[in-house]
Amino acid sequence: MDERINRLMEPRAPSAFRRLAAMEALAKAGISVGLMVAPVMMGLDEEEMGLETMIARAANAGARFAGMKLFELLPGQREQWLAHVTAAYPESASRFRRVSGRRAPNEDERATLFAHFELLCQKHGLLPIHDAVSIRAEPRRDTAEQLKLFDSAKLG
């Protein structure tokens, strides 16, 4: 939910607040919506990650499911990424180096974080994304009306 971090991680993406507003509008229109939290950096504490805040706000906006993907750098990407964030946020360079680590998280660390995420989802009434398949079992709306939109559209 920190806009400064959002600009760093996804410079061209809409703000979290705009995404939540869109989510709420879609949910009110009867469209099943969910939250995908990505990229999540291992090494941040609970407050820095803000997982509960994001999940609670998404649930309040009408989300029905949530998923999470970890921030992972492939070999050779770490130094390039650190150079970028150091230029953008020189006062936080050492912190980014600490958080990004020199190794990928092990399976126990990953499992602990994902278990915590699923508990937060449960607390706020969201299905973990892998359990959200049942949401698709809802009857589909008649698409004939939607397809008529393409008849009159001038597609490039």
Higher-confidence residue: 62 or 15? 62
Helices first, then strands: H and E counts in the chain:
8, 3
Strand partners, 65: 34, 127
Domain range summary for the chain, segments of one domain joined by + = 3-152
Q: How far is CA 109 from CA 58, 63, 148, in A?
A: 25, 27, 50
The least confident of 32-36, 50-54, 130-134, 144-148 is 130-134
Q: Which residue, 132, 143, 92, is CA-closest to 41?
A: 92
Q: Which two tokens stand for residue 83?
A: 């150079």
Per-residue confidence (pLDDT) for residue 137, from 0 to 100: 46
pLDDT at 138 over 70: no
The whole-angstrom separation of Cα 28 and Cα 11 is: 28
pLDDT at 16 over 70: yes
Q: What global pTM score does this model have?
A: 0.70
- Please give the average per-residue pLDDT across 124-144, as a whole number: 64
The least confident of 10-24, 34-48, 54-68, 118-132 is 34-48
Contact 65, 126 (CB under 8 A): yes
Per-residue confidence (pLDDT) for residue 79, from 0 to 100: 82
- Please give the average per-residue pLDDT across 29-49, as a whole number: 83
